[in-house]
Structure 1
Amino acid sequence: MLRQLALRDFVIVDQLDLSFEQGFTVLTGETGAGKSILIDALALALGERGDAGVVRAGAARAEISADFDAWALPLLQTWLVDNELDDEGNCLLRRVIDNNGRSRCFINGRAVSAQQLREAGEFLVDIHGQHAHQSLLKSATQREILDSYGNASELAAQVAQHYRHWQKLNDALLALQQDSGAIAAEREQLEWKTQDLNALQFDLVDWHALQDEHKRLANAVNLGAGIAFALDALSESESATLSQINVVAVKLLSLLEYDAGLQTAYDLIESAGVQLQEASHDLRRYADQMEADPARLYEIEQRIEQVLDVARKYRVKVETLPELLADVQQRYAELVQSEDSAALAAEVADAHAVWHAAAIKLSEIRQDTATKLADIVSTTMQQLALAGGQFAIALTVLEVGNMHGLEQIEFLVAPHAGISPKPLAKVASGGELSRISLALQTAISQVAGVPTLIFDEVDVGIGGGVAEIVGHLLKGLSSSRQILCITHLPQVAAQGEYHLQVSKVQHENQVVSHIHTLDAVARVDEIARMLGGVTITDTTRQHAREMLS
C-alpha cells in the first residue's frame, strides 16, 4: 500500500508531505484547486512521461517521492531482488525532473530507468481516470479488459508473438516463391564477395604488426642516424657523457674521505653512469641488428596496398573487414536456408500450429470469462440506476484469425429492460456509459493483484441515490484494497474513512495548492460546502452530519 507521498515544487505545489492509511480515502476541493495534481504526481513516480512543464514556476526542479509497503507483494519482492533494488520490504519510488526537461528516476535510492519505474508501478497501483469510459468504446480496450479479468493478458501477448513469427516466416516463403531469381543473384554475389574476402586472409593483429614493421623499415635511415648520434654522445666521442660521468664519480669518491654527506650524490651519479652504460650497450645491439631491407619494405607496401584496395572496394574501414566478412557469411547462410522452400514451408506450418494452439486456448478462457464478467457487470448495473439493464460480451469468430486471436470482442449493453443488447457506442449515453465503466472497473478491481486503486472522478455524470451506491461500491472495495478517490459528490465523499481537502491560496504573487487532512468537524464543513455551494447554512451542515453518520 501507499504509505507516504512527498512533493517538492510540483506544478502549483511548493512542498507537500502526505501520509496514507489502509482503507478508503477521499480527496475533495473546489474546481480548479488542483485535486488531480496528486494523481499526476503519483503517475510520474510510477514512470509516466514527464517534461519541464511540471516544475513550479521559478524552481530548478520538481521532486516526487512515493513510499510503499511491499511486504505483502512477493512478486514485487522477487522483481526488486532480481534488479538488485530490494530494501527489506520497502519500495521507495523517486522522480526528479529539472526545469530543462531532464528526468532522473530512483528506486530505494538507486538510479533506474523510467521503464523500471513503470515495471515496479505495475505491482503497486492501478489508476482509473475520469475519462476511462471514453476509451471503453474502443475495441482494443474491450479486449484488454476481458483478457485482464481472465488473467489471460500474458497468454494474449504470447498469441500475438506467435502470430508475428508465423507471419514473418510466411512472408519469407512468399518472397522466395515470388522472387527466387533475385535471391539467386544475391546469393551469387555473396559467394563472390566471400571468396574475395577469404582470399585476402586479413587478420587485425597481423595488420597492426605489419604497419609497425613498415614504419620501422621506411624510416631505417633516420633510425640509423639517430642511433649513431646517441652512441657518439653517450660513449664514443672525446666528450662522451659516460666519460664525463666517470670523471665526476672519481672526484666525488675522493671527496668522501672528507665529508660523508656527499655519499647520496655519489650514489646517484654512479647509478646514472651504470644506467647510461646499459643504454649504450642496448643501442649498440639495436644498431648491430638493424639493417635496411628494401625487398621486405616493398613486400609490406604491396600487402598494405592490397588490403586498402579491398577496403576501398567495399567502402569500409580496414578495421571492419572481419565484421564485413562475418555479415556476408551470415547473410549467405540465411539465403541458403531460405532457398530451401520445402524446409521453410515446414517451418511456416509449425509456426501456424503453435499460434493456432495458443489462440484456441485463449478463446476457451475468453468464452468462460465473458460469461462471468457479463453477469457481474449486469448485477452491478442494477444498483446504478440501470434497473433491468443487461451487459453482454460478444465473441465473433473470425474467418482466419489475427494477432489478437480467433475472435472479435465487442461489449454490448441494454441500458433498460425490454431491449436487446447492442454495441456500447450506439446505445449508451454519457451518464450511462460512466456508470457502466464504473461497474466494469469495480469488477476488474476485485481480481486485481495491486494493493492500491485510485479513482479520479470516475463518478462524473452520476448524482442522487446512485452516487451513494457508488460510494458504497468503492468502500466495499476498500475491505481488501487501499482505495483513493477524487470526487465532487458529497454522497461519495461521506463514505470515506479518511478525507483530504485540496485548496488553492495566493502566496507571494503565486498560486499555491495545499492538501490538508480533515478531522470530524472540518469534514462536516467540507461535505456541507459540496452540498450547498458558497454559502454554508445550518441546514446544509445538519445534512452533512446525517450523511457522515
Structure 2
Amino acid sequence: MLRHLDIRDVLIIDRLELEFRPGLNVLTGETGAGKSILLDSLGFVLGWRGRADLVRAGADEGEVVAVFDLEADHPARAVLDEAGIPAGDELILRRTNRTDGRKTAWVNDRRASGDVLRALSDTLVELHGQQDDRGLLNPRVHRDLLDSFGDLGPDRAATRTAWRALAEADKALTEAEARLAAARDEEDFLRHAWDELEKLAPEPGEDADLDTRRRQMQAGQRIGEDVQKAAQALGPGEGAEGRMGDALRWLEAVADKAGDTLDAPIEAVTRALAELGEATQGVETALETLAFDPGELERVEERLFAIRAAARKHGVAPDDLGDFAAGIAAKLAALDKGAGDIAALTSARDAARADYDAAAARLSAARARAAQALDAAMGTELAPLKMERAVFATEIAPTAPGPEGVDAVTFTVATNPGAPSGPLNKIASGGELSRFLLALKVCLTRDATGLTMIFDEIDRGVGGATADAVGHRLMTLAGEGGQVLVVTHSPQVAARGAHHWRVEKAVSGGQTRTRVTPLDAAARIDEVARMLAGETVTDAARAAARALLGAPRAATSSGATG
C-alpha cells in the first residue's frame, strides 16, 4: 500500500510530503485548492499518461517520489522480477519531468521505462475518478469488467487463439481460391503455351550454341572455295608439294657429281617440304571443319529462330525459356490438383471454425455464470448504499463473432420496483451512477491484495443519509485490511475517515502554493463544519460536525508537511 508521497516543484506545489496509512484516508478542501494536483502527481510517478506541463513555474525540474509497502506475495514482485529489478519490503518509485519535456524514471534506484511503471501501477493502485462512470455506459467495457470479475482471462485467451487460427485458415482458403480462379482464367493460354514449349524443349545455353554453329556454317560457305584452292596449290601433283618433291629428286640424283655444292640446297628443300606438309595438313583440317551439310544449316537456323520467337512471345530471354516452361508446368499442376487443395483448406477452415465455436461457447457459458455471481454481489453491495430496491442485471446478447467471443454485455438497472430495466445511462441519475460505480468497483477488486484504491469525488450528486452510506461503505472497504484514499466534498464521507488532510491554497510573496495540512481532532471539527456550512462556520455547524465525528470511527491523521 502507499506509505509516502513526496512532490517537488510540480505545478503550484514547491515541496510537499505526505505520509499515508492503512484504512480510509480523506482529503478535503475547496474546489480548485489543488486536490487534483495530488492525483496528477501520483499518476505521473505511476507512469499514467496525463498533462505534460507539470513543472512549477520558475523550476527546471519537477519530481515525484512514491513509496509503497510490499507484502511477500504482492503481485508487483512478479513485475519487478520480469524487469530485472531487485525487490524488497519497500518499493520506491521516482520520476522527474524537465521543462523541455524529458521524463526519467527510477524503480528502487534502477532506471525504468514508462511501461514498467504502468505495469507496476496496475498492481499497486486502482483510481476511480469523476469520469469513471463513462466506463459503466460503454458496453465494451461492460464485457471487460464482467470477464475481469469472473477471472475469465484463460477462456478469453483460448478464444482469441482460436479466432486467430480461424482467421489464418480463412485467409489461406481465400488466397487459394483466388489463385485457382486466376489460373482457370488463363488455363487455355497455359495449356497452349505448355504444348508449344514441351515440343520445343529448349535447353539452357542452346541459343548461344546454335548461333555459334550457324555462324561457323555461314563462314564455311563463304571461304570454303578459297581454302580448297589453297589446298590444291599446296598439295601433291601440280601443287607446291609435288613440284618441290620433283625438285628434291632431281637434286639428289646429281648430288654425287656436284661434290658438296648441292648439300645445302638439298637440306633447305627437305626442310621446306616438312613445313609445307604441316601447312597442307592444317588446311585439310580446316576444310574438314568448314565442311557442312546445307540441310544442317537450315535445321540449325529453324531451331534458332523458333527458340527466339518463343522467347519474344513470352517476354523472356531465350535462356530463361526452360524456367518459364517449368513455371507454366507448376501452374498447370496446381490447377490440376487445385480442387483437392481447396477441399483440404476448406476442411482445415471448418475445423478451425469448430474450434472457435467451441472456445466461444465455453467463454459464453463462463460469462453467464460470472454474470449471475456479479448480479448477486451487486445486490449485496447496493443495499448498504441506500439502493436496496434497485435491481442490477447483467444482460448477455449475441453479437458478431470476434476475438473476444460472440457476446455483447450490457449492465442494466431498474431503480424502483415495477420500473422497467434499462441501460445505466438512461435509468440511473448522477448520484445513482456514483453508487453503482462504487458497488461495482468493490465487487471487481474484492480479491485484490495490496491494492490502494483511490476515489475522486465518488460521492458527487448524493448527500444526507445516502452520502453517509457511501462513507460507511468506503470505511468498511478500507477496514478490510486495505487502504482507501478518497477526495471528497461530502462531510458525511469525510467524517468516516481514519486519517484526514485539508488541501488549500496559500499566497506568499505574490506566489500561490498548495498546502496539505494533517488535521487533529479539533481541526477536523472545523473542517467538517466548513463543509457543512460553507464560508461562515457557525456553532450549529460545529455541533453537527461533532455529531458526525462523535462515533469511534473518527481518528487523527498522520503527518504531512508542505
Matched, 1:484 2:482: no
| Distance in 1 separating the partners of 2:492 and 2:345 | 65
Q: Which residue of 2 aligns with 1:248?
A: none
Paired residue secondary structure (2:123): helix
Higher mean alpha-carbon deviation, 103-112 vs 48-57, is at: 48-57
Residue 380 in 1 paired to residue 381 in 2? yes
Per-residue deviation, residues 45-93 of structure 1 (Å, max 9, x unmatched): 2111245411111211211111111124343223312322123222111
Task: Tell me the distance in 2 between the aligned counterparts of 1:158 and 1:486.
Answer: 40
Counterparts of 1:195-274 in structure 2, within 5 Å, are none
Work out whether residues 34 and 503 of structure 1, in 8 Å CA contact, stay in contact via their aligned partners in 2: yes
Moved more, 384-393 or 450-459: 384-393
Partners in 1 of 2:530 and 2:481 — Cα distance?
Answer: 31
Query: Counterparts of 1:309-324 in structure 2 under 5 Å?
Result: none
CA contact under 8 A between 1:25 and 1:483: conserved in structure 2?
yes
Shift of the alpha carbon at 1:468?
0.4
Amino acid at match of 1:358: A
**1:12 and 2:12 equivalent?**
yes
Partner of 1:2: 2
- Which residue number in structure 2 is paired with residue 101 of structure 1? 101
Aligned length: 401
SS at match of 1:63: strand
What is residue 79 of structure 2 aligned with on the other side? 79
Structure 1 residues 47 and 169, CA gap change in structure 2 (3 angstroms): farther
Contact (CA 8 Å) 1:50, 1:97: kept in 2 or not? no
User: Structure 2: how far apart are the matches of 1:43 and 1:367?
Assistant: 35
- The change in CA–CA distance for 1:525 and 1:132 in structure 2 (over 3 A counts) is same
Q: Distance in 2 between matches of 1:349 and 1:450?
A: 46
Please, which moves more after superposition, 485-494 or 341-350? 341-350
Match of 1:152 in 2: 152
Matched to 1:501, the amino acid is R
* Partners of 1:13 and 1:512 within 8 A in 2: yes
Which amino acid in the other structure matches residue 10 of structure 2?
Answer: F
Partner of 1:30: 30
Question: Which whole-Å CA distance do the structure 2 matches of 1:431 and 1:50 have between them?
Answer: 27
Aligned to 1:431: 431
- Please say if residues 71 and 77 of structure 1, whose CA atoms lie closer than 8 Å, have aligned partners that are also in contact: no
Aligned partners of 2:183 and 2:103: how far apart in 1? 48
Contact 1:452/1:481 (<8 A) preserved:
yes
Report the 3-state secondary structure (helix = DSSP H, G, I; strand = E; otherwise coil) of the residue aligned with 2:160: helix
Q: Give CA-to-partner distance per residue, 1:22-65, whole Å, 9 cap, x none.
A: 11101100110011211111112211124541111121121111
Identity percentage over the alignment?
39
Deviation at 1:402, TM superposition (A): 2.1
Residue 453 of structure 1 corresponds to 453
Alignment-mate amino acid for residue 164 of structure 2: R
Q: How far apart are 1:178 and its partner, in Å?
A: 2.6
Q: In the alignment, residue 73 of structure 1 is paired with which amino acid?
A: D
Task: For residue 473 of structure 1, report the CA deviation from its aligned partner.
Answer: 0.4
| Residue 519, structure 1, aligned to residue 515, structure 2 | no
Partner of 2:193: none
Say if 1:402 and 1:82 are closer, same or farther in 2 by CA, change over 3 A.
closer
SS at match of 1:416: coil
SS for the counterpart of 2:502 is: strand
Partners of 2:124 and 2:450 within 8 A in 1: yes
* Cα displacement (A) at 1:505: 1.0
Q: Give the equivalent residue in structure 2 for 1:528.
A: 529
Q: Is the 8 A contact 1:52 1:100 kept in 2?
A: no
- Mapped contact 2:25–2:497 kept (Cα < 8 A): yes
Q: 2:59 aligns to what?
A: 59
- Give the structure-2-normalised TM-score: 0.67
Describe the shift of the 1:427–1:350 C-alpha distance in structure 2 as closer, same or farther (beyond 3 A): same
Offset, 1:382: 3.2
Q: Which residue of 2 aligns with 1:357?
A: 358
CA contact (8 A) 1:531 1:540 kept: yes
Contact 1:13–1:56 (CA under 8 A) maintained in structure 2: yes
How far is 1:350 from its partner? 4.3
CA contact under 8 A between 2:40 and 2:50: conserved in structure 1? no
Matches of 2:51 and 2:525, distance apart in 1: 39
The residue matched to 1:447 in structure 2 has which SS? Answer: coil
> Are 2:463 and 2:490, in contact at CA under 8 Å, matched by a contact in 1?
yes
Q: What does residue 369 of structure 2 align with?
A: 368
Gaps of 5+ in 2: 186-203, 205-333, 551-562
Q: Residue type matched to 1:397 in 2?
A: P
Q: Does 1:414 align with 2:425?
A: no
Q: 1:154 to 1:28 in 2, by over 3 A?
A: farther
Corresponding residue number in structure 1 for 2:401: 401
Q: Is the 8 A contact 1:52 1:98 kept in 2?
A: no
Once the two structures are TM-superposed, the CA of residue 181 in structure 1 deviates from its matched residue by: 6.1
Are the structure 2 counterparts of residues 102 and 354 from structure 1 closer, same or farther at C-alpha, using a change threshold of 3 Å? farther
**Alpha-carbon distance, 1:153 to partner:** 3.6
Deviation digits for residues 402-453 of structure 1, max 9, x if unmatched?
A: 2221221111110111123222232222222222222212222223345211
Letter in 2 for 1:53: D
Question: Distance between the aligned counterparts of 1:106 and 1:184, measured in 2?
Answer: 63
Structure-1 residue corresponding to 2:92 = 92
Determine if contact 2:468/2:493 at 8 Å carries over to the other structure: yes
Q: Distance in 2 between matches of 1:135 and 1:87?
A: 34
Which whole-Å CA distance do the structure 2 matches of 1:130 and 1:50 have between them?
15
1:77 touches 1:89 (CA, 8 Å); kept in 2? no
The verdict on how the C-alpha distance between 1:20 and 1:389 changes in structure 2, with shifts beyond 3 A counting, is same
> For the Cα contact (< 8 Å) 1:51–1:97, is it kept in 2?
no
For the residues of structure 2 that align with 1:126 and 1:391, how far apart are their CA atoms? 23
Aligned to 1:213: none
Q: What is the CA distance between 1:347 and its match in structure 2?
A: 4.3
For 2:351 and 2:95, locate their aligned partners in 1 and report how far apart those are by CA, in whole Å: 46
Secondary structure (helix, strand or coil) at the match of 1:432 reads helix
Name 2:544's counterpart in structure 1: 543
Q: Does structure 1 residue 464 correspond to structure 2 residue 459?
A: no
Deviations for 1:366-393, whole angstroms, at most 9, x for unmatched residues? Answer: 1111112112223333333434211101
Contact 1:391–1:412 under 8 Å retained in 2:
yes
SS of residue matched to 1:54: coil
Q: Distance in 1 between matches of 2:124 and 2:175?
A: 47
What amino acid does structure 2 have at the position aligned with 1:363? S
* Residue identity in the other structure for 1:540: A
Q: Is 1:134 paired with 2:134? A: yes
Q: Does the 8 Å contact 1:126/1:450 carry over to 2? A: no
Moved more, 434-443 or 484-493: 434-443
Asked if 1:178 corresponds to 2:194, the answer is no
Q: Which residue of 1 aligns with 2:269?
A: none
Residue 33 of structure 1 contacts residue 504 of structure 1 at CA under 8 Å; is this kept in 2?
Answer: yes
Matching residue's letter, 1:428: A
- Read off the aligned partner of 1:465 and give its amino acid letter: A
Aligned residue for 1:497? 498
* TM-score, normalised relative to structure 1: 0.68
Seen in structure 2, the aligned counterparts of structure 1 residues 38 and 155 have a Cα distance that, compared at 3 Å, is farther
Take 1:106 and 1:355, find their aligned partners in 2: how far apart are those partners? 43
| Alpha-carbon distance in structure 2 between the residues aligned to 1:160 and 1:507 | 58
Give 1:509 shift. Answer: 2.6
Counterpart AA for 1:499: H
Relative to structure 1, the CA distance from residue 526 to residue 51 in structure 2 (aligned partners, 3 Å threshold; closer, same or farther) is closer
* Structure 1 range deviating more: 106-115 or 403-412: 403-412
